[in-house]
Amino acid sequence: QYAKKHHQHLQIYHQQIDVNTVDRLQLVNDLKPAIEQDELVLFYQPKLNLKLNKVTHVEALVRWQHPIRGMIPPDSFIPIAEKMGQMNALTNWVINQALDQYLLWQQQGVELSIAINISAENLKDDQFCQHILQMIKDKKVPIEALTLEITEDAVVADPEHAIKQLTELKQHGLKLSIDDYGTGYSSLAQLKQLPVDELKIDKSFVQNLMSSEDDKIIVSSTLQLAHNLGLKVVAEGIEDEGSLKWLTQRGCEMGQGFYLSKPVDAEKLTQWLAQSKYR
């Protein structure tokens, strides 16, 4: 009796695990050919220069157009790519695509710098820096036109190694940005050592700025801290006009968020920009 009951219990437990595992494995198996067969697509979200009131940059954000599952957001497959050793292939694809888009915009007379997200996994690979630099050189894209966004926790994982890699990229002229700032527990000592140009305040502090006194205090202090360290600040997650004005008045250099535009494909971004007052 006990054995039977116990066995049933185990079976149910196993079935549950199996469904999830099969699901994950399927995505993992699909991802490699998806990268090779161009099932990935880059969306772009404007970064508004709040001093010039002009969109000077865009951030490239990857999506996966899965033939069966439809559009998969990056949070659903980047962690899998990271675990399964696919992150360098993915980032290489993203950089290559973004460089082509940069050149296409140049041909169309559209002047836009591009920010690319890189993961902690990328920084672990010693060849990664050299490879990025080579791609940029091969495509003849001016290196200052690119910014790399690195999440705060990517740096915390192995600060010494990250600092070494980032310093090399910076020496070659790449702009560096700390993404999701405020969520990753980096110490001020670590922040001071990083060769970065810009700090992106995480959207969780910005989304409800107008209704939260605490968020206002956090954002003002972060602006002060960053400026005192000689860093520019980007606020992500601006969802209303009030927040945009508040940030502009307090000297925040750049803003990004649904109030301006959601991430859209390159063609839509070009159209949006053409009719926007932020040209």
Between 180 and 219, how does the x/- string for binding to Mg ion read (CB under 5 A)?
x---------------------------------------
- In the bound complex, what is the minimum distance in angstroms from residue 256's beta carbon to ligand C2E? 6
Burial class from Cβ neighbours inside 10 Å (0-12, 13-18, 19+) for residue 31 reads buried
Picked from Mg ion, ligand C2E, none, the partner binding residue 239 (CB below 5 to 8 A depending on kind) is: ligand C2E
With b for 16 or more beta-carbon neighbours within 10 A and e for fewer, the 97-133 pattern comes to bbbebbeebeeeebebbbbbbbbbbbbbeeebbeebb
Length reported for the chain: 279
Residue 149 sits in the site that holds Mg ion (CB under 5 A) = yes
Residue 253 sits in the site that holds Mg ion (CB under 5 A) = no
SS3 46: strand
Residue 255 sits in the site that holds ligand C2E (CB under 6 A) = no
C-beta closer to ligand C2E: residue 7 or 186: 186
Nearest to 270 by CA among 146, 141, 112: 112
Which of 75, 213, 214, 267 binds ligand C2E (CB under 6 A)? It is 75
Residue reference for tokens 């993915």: 90
7-36: contacts with ligand C2E (CB under 6 A):
none
Residue 121 sits in the site that holds Mg ion (CB under 5 A) = no
Q: Minimal CB distance to ligand C2E: which residue?
A: 257
Residue reference for tokens 């009030």: 242
- In the bound complex, what is the minimum distance in angstroms from residue 11's beta carbon to Mg ion? 39
- Cα separation, 252 vs 256, in Å, equals 11
Binding site for Mg ion (CB under 5 A): 117, 149, 179-180, 236
Which residues lie near ligand C2E (CB under 6 A)? 45, 61-62, 73-75, 78, 94, 117-119, 149, 179-180, 203, 207, 236-239, 256-258, 263
